[in-house]
A and B are shown apart, each in its own frame.
Chain A
Amino acid sequence: MAEKRLRILVAKPGLDGHDRGAKIIARALRDGGFEVIYTGLHQTPEMIAEAAVQEDVDAVGLSILSGAHMTLFPEVIRLLTERGAGDVSVFGGGIIPDEDSSKLKTLGVKQVFTPGASTEDIVKWVRENVQPRD
């Protein structure tokens, strides 16, 4: 019997338009055999949490290049928890300094990918670390 395919929401919060990375990751995850939903640009944390619940996803990948990662990651996690979806894995990537990356992990972000990470690394990480939700 085929395993249930993981559903991943690739989300681009913030006001900036840097979607090159998000689109490449979305496509690589799709090629890697996952079901991928891409939110498009300029999402608020509310819009992302809402989409995650509506689409019943197993993980949310946030792409952040605006420097607002310390505000946006915790807010998405808080709103997911508020909607009873605290078990959705939240991961992400962007221009994120190492010290912030460690802090984010203590705040519940499962993994942070920084410049130079390959799409293969990310697909592999999702395959090995994201659990399907019941």
Chain B
Amino acid sequence: MSTKQEWLEKVYKRGTERPVRFSTLSDMEVEPLYTPEDVKGDYATDLGQPGEYPYTRGVYESMYRGRLWTMRQFAGFGLAEDTNERFRFLLAQGQDGLSTAFDMPTLMGYDADHERSIGEVGREGVNVTSIHDVARLFDQIPMGKVSTSMTVNCSASALLAMYLVQAERTGVPWNQVNGTIQNDMLKEFTAQKEWICPPAPSLRIVTDMVEFCAKKAPRFHPVSISGYHIREAGSTAVQELAFTIADGLCYVQDAVGRGIDVDDFAPQLSFFWDLHSDFLEEIAKLRAGRRMWARYMKERFGAKNPKSMMLRTHAQTAGVSLTAQQPMNNIVRVAIQALAGVLGGVQSLHTNSMDETLALPTEQSVMVALRTQQIIAEETGVTNTIDPLGGGYAIEALTDRMEREATEYINKIDEMGGMLKAIEVGYPQREIAESAFLYQRQLEQGVKTVVGVNKYSIPEEIPIEVLKIDPLMEERQIQRVRKMKRERNSTALKEALKRVAEACRSGENLMGPICEAVRHDATVGEISDIYRAEFGVYKDPGWI
């Protein structure tokens, strides 16, 4: 038998090669063949069995043979009642966890009746201004049984407080509340760009929530360290991996710096990855991420509890890969991306609906997306054995390369003084913008293909039905918020808000005072206004 090098030179060269660039979506060049020569690692130290360090093959011992991933479709639009109805529809269809999409005013810390909210109330998600909206959102849904994910960041402290207080009001003690709040502010500055105050105080608020949950709501996941938005903003897979792990290290460092034992909070940290269209690249990324996190947690922070080292993750198929052209093709993209997520061992999954480049999804399209997961879970057989691609020469070689290249980025960020400092000088922001620009250029040059867009396009598109948002909904919510503000006890509220402001100054954990304020009907906007006044407002430096 010839060696790989001999084979490449003598055998492979005799064949033909199509005149294309053989590279991943992130433009990582891929070799014609991977062999045992490319897999340098040791099974015990680099892979390990499922449920054993460094968790490359999976965080749990039985993986999907024990329990399938949580099928969790992101949903939210209009008033809280509208979203409540969609939530109950999804639960009835066999979905087992909820995931809340908020509108831009809620996400940016403005009440529905604020002038900056005009035209945006309930449009890209559900509007939540006060605890009354949270009560409507979870009406008839058992908050102690169903786990809920809330995708909100700079105003997350207000939403977490509302969620906990509402649970308490429906008789569910905080130690039984199970859910996740995204609350990953570092990636906001690099990717999603929803912020109120500058990076340093933003990090302080996150760490307050980490500390508070560790003590008061131990089943709640206070941060979902997110690569999703980084990738959607245009990063490569390696950058997504590197910047996300670096964000996670920064949160852990900040909490440990306060004197909290790493094993008291790290088991509740979770992750959120993007699932893009390059099948092997994505699977390799998910596997490399688990190994990297385990190693950093053990070696850098001395974690002892295995749960602190396990990277458990939600994942979502890539919104950015969906096309407005020939939208039915998106069903196929989503299926392939979701399969990569499952072969990569995710714990929870959202599959996008085919119409999401055009509008929020219709009930019909959401159902197809959910059925896609159910088909993967129950028809394809990929759940029968754990990490079925593990040991494959190509997948292991790519996993090693992902880890190597992402570690180089993290070393560079460490040299800059950590992720907070790197963000303050715009390092990850520029890296992501550069990759986004290069990809766009490759698309326009035809180096990369998007079916139906720069290849195989058709002149006449058949329009599909899209979800319409009731135009009167905004006005109804504004009137409802104004009425609530007139009728609440303003003396008690003022006193409670004053205590939140004092905590901003004194360094006391903010969550206690915020919970008290929302009990007195403090709104998302009012709590955010305190942050604006106490910590200042962050302005986009507008780097291009």
Alpha-carbon separation in the docked complex, A106 to B107 (Å)? 33
A125 to B108, CA, bound (A): 34
Note all chain A residues with C-beta closer than 8 A to B357: 95, 115
Q: Is the CB of B324 within 8 A of A17?
A: no
Q: In the complex, what's the smallest C-beta–C-beta distance from B474 to chain A, in angstroms?
A: 10
The answer, yes or no, to whether B323 is at the interface (CB within 8 Å) is yes
B233: which A residues are within 8 A, CB to CB? 19-20
Contact: A20 with B436, CB < 8 Å?
yes
Q: Which of B115-123, B162-170, B237-245, B258-266 contacts A (4 or more CB under 8 A)?
A: B115-123
The 8 Å CB contact of B444, one of A68, A95, A120, is A120
Contact of B124 among A16, A23, A30, A39 (CB under 8 A): A16
Q: Give complex CA distance A44, B114 in Å.
A: 13
* Total A-B pairs, Cβ < 8 A: 90
Determine if B542 is an interface residue (Cβ-Cβ < 8 Å): yes
Given A66-B120, A67-B124, do A40 and B542 touch, yes or no (CB 8 Å)? yes
> Chain B binding site: helix, strand, loop or mixed by DSSP?
loop
Residue of A16, A27, A97, A118 with most chain B CB atoms under a 10 A cut-off? A16
Q: Is the CB of B444 within 8 A of A15?
A: no
Any A CB within 8 A of the CB of B104: yes
Contact A116–B433 (Cβ < 8 Å) = no
B194 within 8 Å of A by Cβ?
A: yes
Beyond A66-B124, A71-B118, whether A40 also contacts B541 by CB under 8 A is yes
B side interface size, CB within 8 A: 41
CB atoms of A115 and B324 under 8 A apart: yes
* A26 in the interface (beta carbon within 8 A): yes
Interface residues of A in 82-113 (CB under 8 A from B): 95, 97
Q: For the complex, what is the distance from the CA of A28 to the CA of B437, rounded to whole Å?
A: 9
Contact present for A14 and B120 (CB under 8 Å): yes
8 Å CB contact of B104 from A14, A23, A119 = A14
User: How far, in whole Å, are A23 and B194 apart by their CA atoms in the complex?
Assistant: 16
Which residue from A23, A30, A68, A119 sits with its C-beta under 8 Å from B433?
A23
Alpha-carbon separation in the docked complex, A101 to B83 (Å): 28
A42 to B539: give the CA distance in the assembly, Å. Answer: 9
Q: Which residues of A contact B466 (CB under 8 A)?
A: 97
Q: Known contacts A14-B104, A20-B234, A95-B324: does B440 contact A119 (CB below 8 Å)?
A: yes
Q: Which residues of chain B are near A20, meaning CB under 8 Å? A: 232-234, 320, 436
Alpha-carbon gap, A41 to B234, bound state (A): 17
CB-defined contacts of B324 to chain A, threshold 8 Å: 95, 114-116
In the assembled complex, the CB of A22 is this many whole angstroms from the nearest CB of chain B, namely 8
| Residue B192 CB within 8 A of the other chain | yes
Q: Which residues from B are CB-within-8-Å of A42? A: 108, 540
Q: Within 8 Å of chain A (Cβ to Cβ): is B358?
A: yes
Q: Looking across the interface, which residue of chain B has its beta carbon closest to that of A30?
A: B544
Q: B residues 88-125 with Cβ under 8 Å of A?
A: 104-105, 107-108, 110, 116-120, 123-124
Instruction: Give per-residue flags for B299-330: 1 if the beta carbon is below 8 A from chain A beta carbons, else 0.
Output: 00000000000000000000010011100000
Q: Which residue of B lies closest to A41 (CB)?
A: B540
Asked if A38 is at the interface (CB within 8 A of a chain B CB), the reply is yes
CB distance from B60 to the nearest CB of A (A): 34
- Is A72's beta carbon under 8 Å from chain B? yes
Q: State the Cβ distance, A118 to closest chain B Cβ, in Å.
A: 5
Contacts of B436 in A (CB 8 A): 20, 23-24
Cross-interface CB contact of A15 among B120, B358, B539, cutoff 8 Å = B120
21 CB < 8 A contacts A-B: A15-B105, A15-B107, A16-B104, A19-B540, A20-B320, A20-B436, A23-B433, A23-B544, A24-B440, A26-B544, A27-B544, A38-B542, A40-B539, A40-B540, A40-B541, A68-B119, A95-B324, A115-B325, A116-B324, A116-B325, A120-B444
Interface residues of chain B, those whose CB is within 8 Å of chain A, are 104-105, 107-108, 110, 116-120, 123-124, 188, 191-194, 232-234, 320, 323-325, 357-359, 433, 436-437, 440, 443-444, 453, 466, 469, 539-542, 544
Given A14-B104, A68-B120, A97-B359, 13 more A-B residue pairs with CB atoms under 8 Å apart are A15-B194, A19-B233, A19-B540, A23-B436, A23-B544, A41-B193, A67-B120, A71-B119, A95-B358, A114-B324, A115-B357, A116-B453, A119-B440
- Name the 10 nearest CB pairs between A and B, nearest first: A17-B193, A40-B542, A40-B540, A71-B119, A15-B104, A68-B119, A41-B540, A115-B324, A15-B108, A26-B544
